[in-house]
Amino acid sequence: MLEFSVSNYRSIRDEVTLSMLKLDQVDEGGLDVVHVAGIYGANASGKTTVLESLKFLVRLVRDSGTNPVGVPLPDIGFAFSSEGDVPTVFTVTFSEAHVIHTYSMGMMGGSVVEESLILDESTVLFTRKGGDIRMGDVPDEDRWVMDRIRENTGPNNLFLSRCMQFHVGCTKDAVDWFLNGVGWVDITLDTYLDINRRKEEVVRMLSNADLGITDISIENIRDGVGATPDGLLFDKPMVTHEIVGDNGSGSYRLSLDAESHGTRVLLGYIPTILDSLDSGKLILMDELEAGLHPLIVDYLIGLFSSTETNPNGSQLLFTTHDTMIPRRTGMGVDQIWFASRDPSRGRTSLYPLSDFEIDDLFDFSQDYLDGRMGSIPMVRRV
């Protein structure tokens, strides 16, 4: 992803923009991006809302094509205002198949009010104002299909979602990005099947994190009703520890329920992280450090920062309260963002560390906690 903007979403009233572009562009063959970025902010500042707004857009593109006729889109506008005449607008810019795509959509009153898809800043594939959808520079074979799609695109359907359903060629790369280019941790029963399928890699990551786990297994996988989308049931995962005691070494198998909260959190993260590193997608992670030791957090960030472990250019966008992460991992000023909330109006703003003059990132932690960048809670002493 290159950039993402959103306005009038939950606690976000005015437009905020998060950029994954490096400040110093050195690659003449394309745009340089950062592969790791973190958002800081007080509780209820809106940093999670930034991630959730991008998730909302991605889900809407994936699913809105099948929305039933007459069912309005959800009301997700600014939560602290009675104004009803302001649209919620999302704009995301990303590179797919070496082409820069800019997709934008706006919704208000349960309906899509605007939408567009532009390639390389100049080639307009389509634009939309309410129910008026117009094609731009598209191949003739796609134009014929798109003409018929727009006749059946309702106010609660994104035109891009409808193009996805009918496999329109000129929108394929954009659709691929929304389907496969963004992910987040969503622990389900299928997560454990992914763990079992990629057991060697999972165990290697657990070993690298020094958790003392040498094996993991999911046993008795069988047909069932309602367990997973594939209708499978299975026993709870078992993990194996190799312990060296007074009487020699031994293997001990424990249920995952017997493991620490942090171990279970990390195990839930791993399938999503492995998938991201394999495919080069953007991963969204809220409160990355929750339940994890700082050095394990650094290990996860390092997987995305290194070209050796991240050859496909995957990106990690996370929220955190751990002010020492930049010092420990070497994150730069173009990788650190702040979410701040105006307490009188409830509005979230978003801004980068690069807006401030920073002499030494080693001082970031104290500068931030001292309130120099804002975005901290105003805690009253009892």
What would the pLDDT profile of 192-245 be if each residue is shown by its tens digit? Answer: 888 888 999 999 998 888 888 888 887 766 666 556 666 666 666 878 876 655
Which CB contacts under 8 angstroms, 24+ apart, belong to 28-35?
A: 30/95, 30/98, 31/2, 31/95, 31/100, 33/1, 33/2, 33/313, 33/315, 34/315, 34/332, 34/334, 34/335, 35/304, 35/305, 35/310, 35/313, 35/314, 35/315, 35/316
> In degrees rounded to 5, what are phi and psi of residue 22?
-70, 145
For residue 184, what pLDDT is reported?
A: 95
For residue 270, what pLDDT is reported?
A: 94
Residues for the chain: how many in total? 382
Instruction: Kindly report the pTM of this predicted structure.
Output: 0.91
For residue 359, what pLDDT is reported?
A: 65
> In degrees rounded to 5, what are phi and psi of residue 316?
-120, 120
**Cα torsion angle, 272, 273, 274, 275, sign:** positive
- Most confident region among 22-36, 246-260, 355-369 by mean pLDDT: 22-36
| 36 within 8 A of 301, measured Cβ to Cβ | yes
C-alpha 57/C-alpha 313 separation (Å) is 22
Boundaries of every domain in the chain: 3-31+54-184, 185-259
Mean pLDDT of the chain: 89
Instruction: Encode pLDDT of 137-167 as tens digits.
Output: 999 999 999 999 999 999 999 999 999 999 9
pLDDT above 90 coverage of the chain, percent: 66
For residue 191, what pLDDT is reported?
A: 83
DSSP state of 67: P
Mean pLDDT of 27-48: 89
pLDDT above 70 coverage of the chain, percent: 88
Instruction: Encode pLDDT of 320-352 as tens digits.
Output: 999 999 999 999 999 999 999 988 788 999 999
Q: Which residue has the tokens 């966008």?
A: 317
Q: Which residues contact 362 (CB under 8 A, 6 or more apart)?
A: 327
Q: Which residue has the tokens 């590179």?
A: 95
Residue 105 tokens read as 């959509």
How many CB atoms lie under 10 A from the CB of residue 185? 17
